[in-house]
Structure 1
Amino acid sequence: MVEVERTVALHHPLPDVVAYLADFAHAQEWDPGTVSCRPARAGAPVAKGAEWDNVSRFRGRRTELRYRLVRLEDLRLTFVGRNRTVTSTDDLIFRAEKGATLLTYRARIEFRGMARLASPFLRGEFERLGDQVAQRMPEAVNSYFGSGGGPAD
């Protein structure tokens, strides 16, 4: 198992940031490994139990996971993605701070089967991905909300 944690300041109101990140389709904007992320059911509302089909690229290989929103709270979101070789958990914890939002992002990747043997060797690459998420997250949020505080036109 590999765990990565980063904390980033997002200069937008907490409820707006939570609503934006609750739609996991936006992972395409803030997660450097995500190639595409689409709702599993078109038109389904963002609610606990909602699912997304995620295509990621890691170490040159394409990986598909089905993510589910398992926790939807005012200050916390948890998504769990699975396929036959891995379970990936993205846990997002929010705190309001001086009109901005402090986000603690935790990713836990659990490999199954023979893939488990590789996890100690992949830690460095996941740490680099964590650094990239911490860099891209504020950029994605700022791009989405623009300078007006609401979704950019």
Structure 2
Amino acid sequence: MVSVERSITVDRPAAEVLRYLADFGNTPEWDPGTESCTRIDEGPVARGARWINVSRFRGRRTRLTYRLDRYESDRLVFVGENRTVTATDDIAVRPWDGRAVVVYRANLRFKGLAQLAGPFLRPAFERLADGVAEQLPRVLAR
């Protein structure tokens, strides 16, 4: 398994940040690896909502089906799967002095032969997490 974590301070109220991040369709705006993220069901964004996420990683396009597994007042958990990986994005959002602190954790559990590649992919996932930490505050500042 590969895990990365970043703590990101943003100049927006925590409740507003949580609502924005709960719509995983916004991911292409703040995740530099995501090319598209399309909702595949209808209704309000709530536990069980689903998206198809297409990302580019190390020159290859990857498609995962994500669902919103937990939607709490200060935490979101998205779980994405395909035949080679299960990705869990665990996002905590807490108020701090009129702003928000976002703690972003991504865990990737590889399946089958892909498990062998996991340790070698850590540096690339760390760079992606750095990109999220850089891009998210800029996006939310708009």
Using structure 1 for the length normalisation, give the TM-score: 0.91
**What is the deviation of 1:72?**
0.2
Matching residue of 1:10: 10
Q: Distance in 2 between matches of 1:13 and 1:48?
A: 22
- Residue in 2 aligned with 1:38? 38
**How large is the Cα RMSD of the aligned pairs?**
0.7
Q: Quote the offset at 1:6 in angstroms.
A: 0.2
2:90 partner SS: strand
What is the CA–CA distance in structure 2 between the aligned matches of 1:88 and 1:31, rounded to whole Å?
Answer: 14
- Could you give the per-residue CA deviations for residues 71-106 of structure 1, whole angstroms, max 9, x where no partner exists? 000100000000010000000011110000001000
Unaligned runs of 5+ in 1: 144-153
Structure 2 unaligned spans of 5+: none
Structure 1 residues 18-97: aligned runs within 5 Å: 18-41=18-41, 43-97=42-96
Once the two structures are superposed, residues 8-38 of structure 1 have per-residue CA deviations (whole angstroms, 9 ceiling, x without a partner) of 0011011100000000001010111100001
Aligned residues: 142
TM-score, with length taken from structure 2: 0.98
- Once the two structures are TM-superposed, the CA of residue 40 in structure 1 deviates from its matched residue by 0.8
Q: CA deviation at 1:68?
A: 0.3
CA distance in 1, matches of 2:141, 2:65: 27
Deviations 1:93-120 (A, max 9, x none): 1111000000100000111001110001
- Between the two proteins, what is the percent identity of the paired residues? 54
Moved over 2 A (4+): none
